[in-house]
Amino acid sequence: MKSIISRIIDPVAIENIRIATHSIRSHLLRTILTVMIIAFGIMALVGILTSIDAVRYFFVENFTRMGSNTFTIRNMTMQRGGEHHRSDFLKKITYDEALEFRRSFNFPSVTSISTFASGSATARFEGKKTHPNNRVWGADENYLATSGEIISKGRNFTSAEAFYGNHVAILGEAVADELFGKNAEPIGKIIGVGSGRYVVIGVLKSKGSSIGFSNDRTVILPLMNVRQVFARPNQSYSINVMTSQTTSMNAAIGEATGIFRTIRKVPLGEQDNFSIIRSDTFVEMMIQNTKMISIAATFIGMITLIGAAIGLMNIMLVSVTERTREIGIRKAIGANKRTIRNQFLAEAIVIAQIGGALGILMGIAIGNVVSFLIGSSFIIPWPWIILGVTLCFIVAMASGILPARKAANLDPIEALRYE
């Protein structure tokens, strides 16, 4: 059995690792400082990249919740490159335009109309008040399906409630918990929102929080009710369209564009004065942006690791000088250049991998703290772990080869007379 193990694992390599660990223990403070330099470099690299992965996963998870077969028509919110100065280019989408689109769009799909009513509303129930940071939306009966929202308690609006503007409400989980408590039954209770009173008919499934802001502080009211209670000049409406199949998205967007250009009376040859945004557009933009951040983070980590490599090389050169007599003794009893060289390379690799392991653990911890704060999932970044281990090996080889060659080339007689 021992012969089999010795064939698989080189005994000289094992002896080199044993000598390396003994040398590390003999110069513990110096080793700890070197390990920490490497650890902080790897921690910066793995921590930043893990945080980016957490942010990317959060956006992918949230934006694709709407489905890859959904797109939104909304008014243009900014001028692109300052090219457009017409007053009608940024004009709002009116309710009549949205309603006409829904009637005219005969593509196999589900279409909903919604509008943003308030971003600072307070909900009230029997003397209790929520914080004034609730978002109020007006929506029809199809809104939940096209926006990816899920009912956890109660029900959705009926078409009659949405059309007649009944005083009913669907609450986000955070609003329901703050008003009624986690274990109470909110369905059928009457709450106040703005100047109106509403019967709670449903509670949305939690979507978590994003960078300290809860996505569950939402109140959805019937569209016609919002038009009466939260009416304001120049109010704009959004149109969500969910096609029956993902493969028909391009055809649906093309037809929707043609219909809405006709509704908005956009002259032939001029650019659209509205935006059509696919549900996966945000995800693609985020992935492209995070790629550049990842490259920048890798560059920063590399700079730190270059400093770590210089520090490790300095430590190894000092080690060679301090152990000159030891090297002479080993050569005198038969150690060749290759053995001496591999011994010092093994020591550099052990120090670098200890620092790398510590840095990877700290980097994963930092990245998942960010993940927790934005409401994303726990991430084990295997690609960045492999990258960290590989970089540590490269750093060890780059910083250890010069001291190792210096040690291997020492004259044994001069080395024995060194002290």
Give the best-scoring range by mean pLDDT among 4-8, 105-109, 285-289, 412-416: 105-109
**pLDDT (0 to 100) of residue 211:** 46
**pLDDT-derived band at 2, boundaries 50, 70, 90:** very low
Q: Among 352, 341, 363, which Cα is nearest to 389's?
A: 352
Per-residue pLDDT of 140-168, as tens digits, reads: 999 998 888 889 999 999 999 998 999 99
3-state secondary structure of 206: coil
Q: Which of 178-182, 273-277, 282-286 has the lowest mean pLDDT?
A: 282-286
C-alpha separations of 177 from 126, 161, 173, 203 in Å: 14, 25, 6, 10
Q: Which of 122-136, 169-183, 328-342 has the lowest mean pLDDT?
A: 328-342
**pLDDT (0 to 100) of residue 397:** 85
Q: What percent of the chain has pLDDT over 70?
A: 85
**pLDDT-derived band at 97, boundaries 50, 70, 90:** very high
**pLDDT (0 to 100) of residue 60:** 67
**pLDDT-derived band at 415, boundaries 50, 70, 90:** low
The domain limits of the chain are: 2-62+285-416, 68-278
Average pLDDT over residues 47-67: 73
The whole-model pTM stands at: 0.60
**pLDDT (0 to 100) of residue 370:** 83
Residue with more model confidence, 327 or 284: 327
53 contacts 369 by C-beta, under 8 angstroms: no
Average pLDDT over residues 118-141: 89
Answer yes or no: is pLDDT of 1 > 60. Answer: no
Other CB atoms within a 10 A radius of the CB of residue 337 amount to 14
**pLDDT (0 to 100) of residue 30:** 78
**pLDDT (0 to 100) of residue 62:** 64
C-alpha separations of 203 from 132, 139, 144, 170 in Å: 19, 15, 12, 6
Average pLDDT over residues 49-77: 75
Per-residue pLDDT of 193-248, as tens digits, reads: 988 899 999 999 887 655 445 578 899 999 999 998 888 888 899 999 988 876 78
